[in-house]
Amino acid sequence: MKQKGLKMPIIFNAAFRQFHLLNNKISYIMHIMENGQLEHLYFGKCVCPEADFSYLAERGHRDMQACPLPDQPYFSPEHIRQEYPCFGYGDMRMPAFEIERENGSRVVDFKYVGHRIYHGKKPLDPLPGVYCEPGDDVETLEITLTDEQIHTDIILYYTIFESAAALIRHAEFSCHGEERISVETAMSFGLDLPDMDYEMIDLAGSWSRERHIRRHSLDYGIQSVYSLRGSCSSHQFNPFIALARRDTGENSGEVIGMSLLYSGDFLAQAEVDNFGVTRVTMGIHPQEFSWTLYSGEKFVTPEAVIVYSDKGIGEMSSTYHWLYRNRLARGMWRDRERPILINNWEATYFSFNEESLLKIARKAADIGIELFVLDDGWFGHRNDSKSSLGDWYVNKEKLQGGLKGFAEKINSLGMGFGIWIEPEMVSEDSDLYRKHPDWVLGDKRRILSKARNQYVLDFSRPEVVDEVYRQLADTFRGLPITYIKWDHNRSMSEVFSAGGNREYQGTVRHRFILGMYSLYAKMTAAFPDILFESCASGGARFDPGMLYYAPQAWCSDNTDAIERIRIQYGTSLVYPLSSIGSHVSAVPNEQIKRITPLRTRAAVAYFGTFGYEQDLTKASEEELAEMKLQISFMKKYRNLIQKGTFCRLISPFEKDGNIAAWEVISEDGKEVLAAYFRILQKPEAPYTRLRLAGLEEKETYLCQEVNNCCEADAEAEKIYRSGSELMNIGLIMSDESSGCKGVAAQVQGDFLARMFLLKKQSPDAE
């Protein structure tokens, strides 16, 4: 445990040349080796701060082809667990960084020259980063490594919060000599672990089925996830992996999570050597990356957040949720309850006018919706996907009174007004393209891909970013806008910038992301009261980098409730519910044509930011009445949902995937909202119980089923159970298919959702 009275959670033991970063949950230990480089010794549960850990520096001559240092036959870099490893100096494994000199040599030798330990954490300009606030007990360690021959420094940054089992890492390359250098690989961190007894967890999928959980054993060689889509972290893989011990579950066992705060090309990989040592690296993907540094210039890698838990995957998620909700998301919307919105996209697509929108808006206001969002089609002369991206001025044929007049009409109904943009894209049929065809990203000597009838603007060029910002700011300034949905609907291809020379091309992919971040920074500074929601064809940019600018993200274009159970369950491994954009849409569902009950659609969407995406003028009076109850329920419990502790109870990725369940516990622990989902009704089904988690064993809870998933059932029998009963025995979920007669009809059939509200309360309190 952490020593009482210890002022600094980072200790440097000069006698043993060891660094020990610790709090009452974790320890991270490394030391300076005899050759001046850094060796990783330990990462895990907190251990004694005063101990000498030199015995963990294991040495051996294990390979006839190893390359030990001269006169040191047992000092072979290939068999040493290194802290930030290079390639070509005796270590044959994949490196954390590579540097090329002017003469083509990639041989480097970075040695320790000094370090700093200080309170707090510096901003990571121009990249997003975790931050600290006054009163936070946070310490940062900077270790400077120098290669004297090329006059270049690498500074390794480590930040630790006193209250979180997490380490925040990144690296900075700085050139001081007359010789320019080229950084060819720059991972945010390296982590060498002493064994391979792990299973790798990642989040994979595609458009409309993002972030499904995969879990597989490590094996010799490299196992990785990545994105090479340039402008987004991708639907296919999320910039996150975890290594879990084989017996680790939600509530027990060891797991190390690794999450990259970046929205572009990334690589996250675990390499297992033939002696069972696991090397993890994560950072910007080196494909098409090459960053030249001249004297006085530096390059900063994105941050990575590394979380350790010895109490299962659930505790790892809770650590990420707290950090990303409270110390990554920023601005006035960080701590505010999110407004319940309606988006017109699936209701109208491009075919709308002011009156058709107002008909939907009036219905929305009647049932208590707080925000009307005008989606694609409001600008230029855009009536389909073939024109007008890049022309950010209102289409007055559709909105005769302009945006201001329409927004004021929405406001008069008692709702806020939100709008859709896609600023990184341009249509060939647009004023912007006709004026600046060279602003398109791509080698125009070749055929350019035109995905979704659009091109990608070259955001690596500041003048392009400045022009898009000017248009948006001029259009939105003075308007009563409270929400912006920021979309991005295609990947980068044929990447080439007309704005730079040969050397510049290796920087374009990363500069594009920096340009996108800079536009976000400009927009959030100019419009600090606006709630930004990021989107990229649904969930292709659901990553921590975006949460720094936009505290919520559209989780997936797939609004089918059943598919959303899997998508939102997987997303919750890293991301808090307050970041998950979730809507109730019409049936048959637009994406997969499934018909599910309205109560089930709402029950899934509650566990996010909540809203509607359908034409309310086509809803029946019964449906509108039910929606009104749903909205009232969400308003009552959204603080619990968006700020409470989320616990996964039954995984839809295990067994036959027919059942899933989760819960949220309020910040004060007095209320719990649990949801149980059954996809298909099974004949002669087994008895089923829902065991809860995170309760206080000796406390008594009043348990009420939420009738129709929109209000507590006042007529139902009041059930009192102890926390120990609810966690070890659980709630009975069996129905007539399990032989239980007299069960209410609403818990029968396919696509079932049941919700339970628990409150700390003894029978005597009534």
Residue numbers annotated as active site: 487, 557
Helices 462-476, 508-526: axis angle to 10 degrees equals: 20
Distance CA 213, CA 202 (A): 6
CA atoms within 13 A on the CB side of 391: 21
> CA-CA distance, 400 to 606, in Å (whole number)?
36
DSSP string for 178-240: SS-EEEEEEEEEEEEES----EEEEEE--TTS--EEEEEE--SEEEEEEE--SSS--SSEEEE
- CA–CA dist 602, 623 (Å, integer): 12
State both tokens at 312.
């299962």
**Would you state the structure tokens that stand for residue 45, as one six-digit string?**
């549960």
Dist CA 582 CA 561 (whole Å): 10
654 burial via Cβ count (<10 Å: 0-12, 13-18, 19+): exposed
Distance CA 699, CA 721 (A): 9
Tell me, what DSSP letter sits at residue 736? G
Three-state SS at 138: strand
Spatial distance between the Cα atoms of 144 and 511, rounded to a whole number of angstroms? 26
- How far from the centroid of its chain's Cα atoms is residue 349's Cα? 28
Output the DSSP codes for 152-166: EEEEEEEEEETTSSE
Q: The tokens 């968006």 sit on which residue?
A: 642
Pairing of strands 266-272, 221-227: antiparallel
With CA atoms as reference, report the closest residue to 142 among 106, 180, 114: 114
Distance CA 578, CA 641 (A): 8
The H or E element that residue 724 is part of is helix 723-728
Give the helix/strand (H/E) hosting 513: helix 508-526
From CA 748, how far away is CA 681, in angstroms rounded? 7
**E-only strand ranges, 462-506:** 481-486
Element containing residue 320 per DSSP (H, E): helix 313-326
Residue 737 corresponds to which tokens in the numbers above? 């298919």
